[in-house]
Amino acid sequence: MAERIRILFLCTGNSCRSQMAEGFTNYLKGDTIEAYSAGVAPKGLDQRAVKAMAEVGVDISNHESKHLDELKNVQFDYVITVCDNAHESCPIFPGKTKIIHIGFDDPPRLAENAGSEEEAINHYRRVRDEIKKFILNIFEYIKTVQGVNS
């Protein structure tokens, strides 16, 4: 088996979007990608994210919110920032690491003004589905971005 590429999904809190991306990638593309997630200011795993992912058969309940520094010894092929704040504060990565940004809405922020739990979880579901679509097409997206940046 060929060596899998390593991708780090980086977000601010490593509580929701980056966790979903890691979960989907390992679930859908685990034969070709070794996925990780981290945050620049981790704040714990969001239980609504866990619930939304479980609804589509992906268990992230054992994930832990971690700081980027905890993965400093891993050589990544790609770092994908999934929120604007992480993109703006993304550190420099050594070697061949390529940094890509694809922003997704922040479900916890959107859910703050929800009138019900169902309305709140619907924000998570929408973003979850957008992340899944991205992961299903991740290789095409990477090729497109590399073509633009070459």
Out of 5, 71, 90, 142, pick the active-site residue: 90
11 in active site: yes
Output 108-111 pairs: Cβ under 8 A, ≥24 positions apart: 108/15, 108/16, 108/46, 108/48, 111/48
Q: Provide the H-helix boundaries in 1-150.
A: 17-29, 47-54, 84-88, 107-111, 117-136, 138-149
Give me 74's structure tokens: 């891993």
Give me 53's structure tokens: 């992912």
Out of 7, 10, 11, 102, pick the active-site residue: 11
Out of 40, 83, 86, 111, pick the active-site residue: 83
90 in active site: yes
Question: CA of 94: how far to CAs of 3, 36, 132, in Å?
Answer: 20, 17, 28
Q: Which residues are catalytic?
A: 11, 83, 90
